[in-house]
Amino acid sequence: MTTPTATAPSTAPALPAARGPLSSAVVRALHGEALPADLDVAGADPLGADLQLALYICYELHYRGFDGVDDDLEWDPALLGLRRRLEEAFLAALRALVPGGGDVAAEIEPLLVEHVDAPGVSRHLRRRGELWQFREYIALRSLYHLKEADPQAWVIPRLEGEAKAALVSVEHDEYGAGRGERMHARLFADMMLELGLTDRYGAYVGVAPAPVIAEVNFMSLCGLRRSLRGALVGQFAVVELTSSPGSDRLVRAAERLGCGPATVAFYAEHVEADAVHEQVVRHGIIAPLVAGDPEMATAVVFGMQAANLLDERLSAHVLASWERGRSALVGPLEDAA
């Protein structure tokens, strides 16, 4: 397997190809055209590829931007107005699909129990997954992991006291505890190179199905809205509470498939770190946040339920595709690289 040459992490990605009228309008707007006044957001599938890609592109203006796109478009009033309409459609769909409630402990409890026969991508890869499937999974996860912890960082100035300090301690670990080469995003990039994938930021969004784009968008949505700070904490809790056993399965999958040390190292790092983070998130972030503002419980529960829903949708799509012997991507992996 040929290993691509590492690229500079600061290189802005290319704009992805549009997948419908909404994403097409956003792409054209970033090239200098005016946004149409009659864009039909209400008629679009709120979880579909077109709306989710349009929203993803809007969010990426707040991260690394795009090659050849003016950085000042991050605050373009027309794009911000469209983004809000896209967000409202996305949020309405999520709220209609989850039960809601305010019992945080009841949401956390099932996440702490491992169900041996439960379906899931990491279980499939651990038991019988093939190398091509493992590589696809890594390409899909690159949409988040190449900016790991960045969406959650938006919430830091929106918290206070113990909850804020505890979240910063977790983020400190995610960013390599002060060592650039130990940043989790860098470890993930090293794994991609070892697996013959490109480590270019945003390289695989063009072949990513709607469920993975929606999962990443939900993090950005909650991080960028102060009113959803509790939901962002809930989303982060789901990741940290479930990551350690899932990462252990992926370590075993990588070893079974004969992957190299960088692949094993990324997931081994998460087995140990996230076992600690689980306790910090539960007792250091959620507990004081809800104690200080009981109304935050409803937001935290929504974040947890929505995160679980989006993860289940992605898992179902990936496993259904693989069971049919098909790629879970919407285009060839090699084309994206």
301 with 282, same domain: the answer is yes
pLDDT of residue 8: 40
Q: What is the mean pLDDT of residues 296-307?
A: 98
Q: Is residue 13 one of the residues assigned to a domain?
A: no
Q: How large a percentage of the chain has pLDDT more than 70?
A: 96
Beta carbons within 8 Å of 258's beta carbon, 6+ residues apart: 131
The answer to whether residues 234 and 258 belong to one domain is: yes
Residue of 240, 85, 91, 249 whose CA lies nearest to 174: 240
Which pLDDT band holds residue 278 (cuts at 50, 70, 90)? confident
Whether residues 54 and 188 fall in one domain = no
Q: Which residues contact 103 (CB under 8 A, 6 or more apart)?
A: 297, 301
Residues 113 and 216 in one domain: yes
- From 97, 115, 137, give the residue that closes a domain: 97
What is the residue range of 328's domain? 104-336
Q: Is 98 exposed, middle or buried (0-12, 13-18, 19+ CB in 10 A)?
A: middle
Average pLDDT for the chain? 94
Reported as a single tens digit per residue, the pLDDT across 172-205 is 999 999 999 999 999 999 999 999 999 999 999 9
Q: Is residue 9 domain-resident?
A: no
> Is the pLDDT confidence value at 216 over 70?
yes
Residue 9 has pLDDT above 50, yes or no: no
Structure letter (DSSP) for residue 84: H
Q: What is the mean pLDDT of residues 80-87?
A: 98
d(CA 281, CA 287): 8
Is residue 275 over pLDDT 90?
no
Cβ proximity of 288 and 161 under 8 Å: yes
Answer whether residue 215 is part of any domain: yes
DSSP E strands in 38-166: the ranges are none
Verify that 296 and 274 share a domain, yes or no: yes
- pLDDT band for 272, please (50, 70, 90 cuts): confident
What is the model's pLDDT at position 115? 73
77, 97, 117 - which closes a domain: 97
Model confidence at 112, pLDDT cuts 50, 70, 90, reads confident
**Same domain for 114 and 231?**
yes
Judge whether 202 lies within some domain: yes
- My answer on whether 239 and 298 are in the same domain is yes
Read off the pLDDT of each residue in 89-94 and give the average, rounded to a whole number.
Answer: 98
Claim to verify: residue 41 and residue 132 sit in the same structural domain: no
Secondary structure (DSSP) of 45-67: -TTSHHHHHHHHHHHHTTTT--T
Query: Is 5 domain-assigned?
Result: no
* CA 61 to each of CA 39, 174, 310: distance values in angstroms, whole numbers, following the listed order: 20, 22, 23
Cβ atoms 56, 217 nearer than 8 A: yes
Q: Using one digit for the tens of pLDDT, what is the confidence trace for 137-167?
A: 999 999 999 999 999 999 999 999 999 999 9
Domain count, the chain: 2
Rounded distance between C-alpha atoms, residue 41 and residue 149, angstroms:
30
Q: Is residue 8, in this structure, part of any structural domain at all?
A: no
| Mean pLDDT calculated for residue range 249-265 | 97
DSSP state of 330: S
Stretch (H or E) spanning 124: helix 121-127
Do 91 and 123 share a domain, yes or no? Answer: no
Q: In 3D, which of 59, 58, 48, 60 has the Cα closest to residue 19?
A: 48
Q: Would the pLDDT of 337 be above 70?
A: no
The one-character DSSP state at 328 is S
Q: Both 84 and 210 in a single domain?
A: no
Closest CA to 87 of 266, 254, 271, 223: 223
Statement: residue 56 has pLDDT above 50:
yes
Residue 251 lies in a domain: yes
DSSP structure string for 287-317: HHHHHH-TTHHHHHHHHHHHHHHHHHHHHHH
Over residues 211-224, the mean pLDDT reads 98
Q: Is 194 inside any structural domain?
A: yes
Q: Are residues 37 and 75 in the same domain?
A: yes
Q: Report the pLDDT value the prediction gives residue 7, as an integer from 0 to 100.
A: 42
pLDDT of residue 113: 84
* Residue after which a domain boundary falls, among 97, 124, 153: 97
Give residues with Cβ within 8 angstroms of 68, minimum separation 6. 15
Same domain (yes/no): 125, 264: yes
Q: What does the pLDDT average to over 280-287?
A: 96
